[in-house]
């Protein structure tokens, strides 16, 4: 077994190499290896020690998979102090990311060198934590509080050059990190340079204004997360406490946060971001070529999709029905790209080349060279079939034909072509060049390498792809329509839409269902109801007030009035809705709900439908639902997702509640068989995720 921490001499230099692929995470064996390496360094005649990471980076941080388990010695803060207390100089040579504990190991050294590709950061708050190995005490002593306040509450990182400018590193070098590190270490040895312990530097200057401003900013930005504000507290501790006390304060805060549901939720989300693309049927399947994308339809979605592809450096041919529509699409796309430059998502210098990579055409023949075509035309099956028949006639063999439909049957669309194996659904969320979620809808005949190409496209676009089966609404919108139905039922029983929105927003979603309806347009909900009317179960309820609001032209933000009135950017409850609700409530038992009950029902409906979606294989695992709700519907990341929320609440209690509501409404509150089974077997949704991974 190769050593996880190697100690080798290069002349008077002791090179300590961390070799723990894939990210040199500081698991127990690495910490032990570092401890022993520096014991050895103390005892031998090497003049200077050099720490380097093997592979593509220095160190990716503490081993996140250890969190939530009993901590194992040696603890990381002690390892950093063990390195720093060396009587002979220690150099850290960083390439690639030095994150969290990786940055803390570098800070424990006496000198720091970075190659140009190095990045230094403290992402701990993204895991619900604060730095836990001295970062909040050492960095401010080295750089002052401002760079630490800019980085730690945000979980941000900086480049090698920026690190040099703030004094985090002593030197930025070209070329191979080991070579540069050795040269720097030899220079230090030859000069007889002294040890320089960061912990012995004076406390950084306390800047009252800076801390007050940081707290004001992060009280708003954190949106319920506690770690960002705690990060400010521990940085502040570095300005007033002796180092050892500051370390104790940081450790206490770190251990407290380690014990919170927010840490569990955020780490659940971290690992799911990676697991969601791990699908057994894609193992070893190579994606097809992906360089030139055709987009059919230049409306909001088509232009957004084209923008997303151009931002990723792909070339795009966008087809519209006539020149006027094509020109309009082009201006929408150039506005999107200009906004991306303003948001810092696109370098100014890339704006022209991105636009030059866009061709707008009105003739299908121009799509012949495209590797992939994405249709984003009107949501009507007949129209879609016509488009796919035309695409089938002109696209080259091996090209992929994708539909952006949000609910239509992708199998039926595939049937309109002679190449159903090349057909797939790519459900983008609006605005397509901003929202990260991409539902990859795999039809019955879709070939495995077509699915693999869809996931490769998502990675290229910087999106998170979730595999979905074919049903009305796929994963996200199908679940949305159910929890939206729960909200409508609460209205019928006397709860106001505005109380529901407030309760759901306080729970952590960006907005409640009625605010969301106003934003998307209440005509969309109306059209969906009309579309489903023919197949609606007679026991289902129809929000008649919603139809009346539609006929009154109350469509939400776009008409200035919906569930809210909108004046000068301010939203106020539209009390003219009340009479419509009173009328609809006639004949229903009135039992207005408080915020906790509102959340309980809303979430129970979400989880119950999600259990059906998993059972039917529309979502492969519960984690696919969690990722969908996080990236497509603003579910609070620090809760991990609705399925983790359900596990945390306890499935048995949730099922009891659903059963108690089932007596009044057997149609809507029918318990999902999977939920019943898990409770009977004493298993959780997380168990299902683990079983699928085996």
Instruction: Write out the catalytic residue numbers.
Output: 104, 124
Q: Among positive and negative, which fits the CA dihedral 582, 585, 586, 588?
A: negative
d(CA 300, CA 37): 59
530 binds ligand T1G (CB under 6 A): no
Q: Cβ closer to ligand T1G: 63 or 501?
A: 63
d(CA 599, CA 223): 17
131 binds ligand T1G (CB under 6 A): yes
Contact 333, 299 (CB under 8 A): no
Report helix, strand or coil for 5. Answer: strand
Q: Cβ closer to ligand T1G: 276 or 599?
A: 276
Piece of 57-65, 173-181, 198-206, 634-642 that binds ligand T1G (CB under 6 A): 57-65
d(CA 286, CA 278): 14
Strand order in the sheet with 48-53: 5-10, 13-18, 48-53, 90-94, 111-115, 171-173
Q: Smallest gap, in angstroms, from Cβ of residue 229 to ligand T1G? A: 17
163 binds ligand T1G (CB under 6 A): no
Q: Among residues 1, 2, 22, 382, which is the contact residue for ligand T1G, using CB under 6 A?
A: 22
What residues pair up with 15 in beta bridges, in sequence order? 8, 50
Q: 22 preceded by cis ω (within 30°)?
A: yes
Give the number of residues in contact with ligand T1G, rule: CB under 6 A: 25
d(CA 31, CA 101): 11
Q: Cβ closer to ligand T1G: 64 or 614?
A: 64
Provide the H-helix boundaries in 634-671: 642-649, 651-662
- Tell me how crowded residue 324 is: count the other CB atoms within 10 A of its CB: 10
Report helix, strand or coil for 455. Answer: helix
d(CA 118, CA 439): 34
Q: Among residues 4, 23, 50, 516, which is the contact residue for ligand T1G, using CB under 6 A?
A: 23
Q: Smallest gap, in angstroms, from Cβ of residue 164 to ligand T1G? A: 20
Q: Smallest gap, in angstroms, from Cβ of residue 354 to ligand T1G? A: 24
Structure tokens at 31: 């910490």
Task: Pick out residues in 189-228 that bind ligand T1G (CB under 6 A).
Answer: none
Task: Pick out residues in 76-105 that bind ligand T1G (CB under 6 A).
Answer: 76, 97, 99-101, 104
Q: What backbone torsions phi and psi does residue 403 show, to the nearest 5 degrees?
A: -110, 140
Piece of 20-28, 239-247, 287-295, 325-333 that binds ligand T1G (CB under 6 A): 20-28
Q: Among residues 16, 107, 113, 129, which is the contact residue for ligand T1G, using CB under 6 A?
A: 129
Q: Smallest gap, in angstroms, from Cβ of residue 176 to ligand T1G? A: 19
Q: Cβ closer to ligand T1G: 101 or 287?
A: 101
d(CA 618, CA 611): 10
Task: Pick out residues in 60-79 that bind ligand T1G (CB under 6 A).
Answer: 60-65, 76
Q: Among residues 220, 274, 539, 551, which is the contact residue for ligand T1G, using CB under 6 A?
A: 274
Per-residue binding string, ligand T1G, 132-161, x by CB under 6 A, is xx-x--------------------------
d(CA 171, CA 115): 8
Piece of 33-41, 130-138, 315-323, 661-669 that binds ligand T1G (CB under 6 A): 130-138
In the numeric block, the tokens 């320089």 are attached to 196
Counting every residue written for the chain, the total comes to 694
108 binds ligand T1G (CB under 6 A): no
d(CA 226, CA 129): 9
Positions touching ligand T1G (CB under 6 A) are 22-23, 25, 60-65, 76, 97, 99-101, 104, 123-124, 127, 129, 131-133, 135, 271, 274
């Amino acid at each position: 077994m190769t050593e996880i921490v190697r100690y080798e001499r290069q002349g008077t230099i002791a090179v300590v190499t961390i070799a723990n692929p894939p990210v040199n995470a500081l698991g127990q064996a690495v910490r032990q290896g570092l401890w022993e390496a520096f014991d050895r360094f103390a005892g031998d005649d090497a003049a200077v020690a050099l720490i380097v990471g093997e592979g593509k980076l220095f160190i990716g941080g503490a081993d996140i998979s250890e969190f939530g388990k009993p901590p194992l010695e040696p603890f990381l803060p002690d390892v950093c102090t063990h390195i720093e207390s060396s009587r002979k100089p220690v150099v850290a040579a960083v390439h690639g990311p030095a994150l969290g504990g990786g940055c803390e190991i570098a800070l424990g050294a006496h000198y720091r060198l970075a190659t140009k590709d190095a990045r230094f950061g403290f992402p701990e708050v993204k895991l619900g934590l604060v730095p836990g190995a001295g970062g909040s005490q050492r960095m401010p002593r080295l750089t002052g509080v401002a760079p630490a306040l800019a980085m730690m509450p945000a979980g941000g990182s900086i480049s090698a050059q920026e690190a040099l400018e703030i004094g985090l590193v002593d030197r930025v070098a070209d070329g191979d990190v080991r070579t540069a590190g050795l040269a720097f270490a030899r220079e230090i040895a030859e000069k007889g340079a002294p040890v320089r312990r960061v912990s012995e530097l004076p406390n950084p200057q306390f800047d009252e204004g800076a801390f007050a401003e940081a707290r004001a900013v992060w009280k708003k930005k954190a949106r319920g997360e506690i770690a960002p504000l705690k990060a400010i507290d521990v940085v502040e501790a570095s300005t007033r406490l002796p180092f050892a006390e500051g370390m104790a304060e940081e450790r206490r805060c770190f251990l407290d946060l380690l014990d919170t549901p927010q840490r569990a939720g955020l780490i659940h989300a971290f690992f799911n971001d990676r697991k969601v693309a791990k699908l057994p049927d894609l193992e070893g399947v190579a994606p097809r070529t992906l360089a030139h994308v055709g987009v059919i339809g230049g409306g909001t979605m088509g232009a957004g999709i084209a923008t997303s592809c151009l931002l990723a450096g792909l070339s795009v041919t966008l087809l519209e029905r006539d020149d006027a529509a094509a020109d309009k699409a082009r201006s929408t796309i150039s506005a999107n790209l200009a906004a991306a430059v303003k948001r810092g998502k696109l370098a100014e210098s890339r704006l022209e080349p991105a636009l030059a990579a866009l061709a707008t055409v009105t003739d299908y023949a121009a799509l012949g060279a495209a590797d992939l075509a994405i249709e984003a035309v009107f949501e009507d099956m007949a129209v879609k079939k016509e488009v796919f028949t035309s695409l089938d006639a002109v696209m080259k063999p091996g090209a992929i034909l994708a539909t952006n439909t949000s609910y239509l049957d992708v199998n039926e669309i595939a049937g309109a072509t002679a190449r159903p194996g090349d057909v797939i659904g790519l459900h983008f969320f609006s605005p397509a060049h901003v929202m990260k979620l991409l539902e990859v809808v795999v039809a019955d005949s879709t070939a495995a390498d077509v699915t693999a190409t869809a996931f490769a496209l998502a990675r290229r676009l910087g999106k998170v792809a979730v595999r979905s089966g074919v049903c009305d609404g796929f994963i996200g919108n199908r679940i949305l329509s159910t929890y939206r139905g729960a909200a409508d039922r609460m209205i019928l029983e006397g709860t106001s839409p505005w109380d529901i929105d407030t309760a759901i927003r306080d729970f952590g979603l960006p907005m409640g269902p009625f605010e969301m309806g106003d934003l998307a347009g209440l005509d969309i909900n109306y059209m969906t109801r009309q579309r489903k009317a023919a197949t609606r179960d007679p026991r289902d309820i129809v929000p008649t007030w919603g139809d009346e609001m539609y006929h009154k032209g109350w469509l939400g933000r776009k008409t200035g009035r919906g569930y809210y009135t909108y004046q000068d950017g301010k939203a106020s409850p539209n009390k003219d809705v009340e009479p419509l609700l009173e009328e609809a409530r006639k004949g229903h038992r009135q039992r207005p709900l408080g915020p906790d009950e509102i959340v309980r029902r809303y979430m129970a409906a979400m989880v119950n439908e999600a259990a059906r979606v998993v059972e039917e294989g529309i979502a492969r695992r519960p984690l696919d639902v969690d990722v969908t709700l996080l990236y497509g519907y603003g579910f609070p990341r620090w809760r991990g997702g609705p399925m983790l929320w359900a596990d945390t609440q306890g499935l048995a209690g949730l099922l009891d509640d659903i059963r108690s509501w089932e007596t009044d409404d057997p149609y809507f509150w029918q318990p999902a068989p999977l939920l019943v089974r898990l409770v009977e077997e004493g298993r959780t949704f997380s168990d299902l995720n683990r079983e699928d991974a085996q």
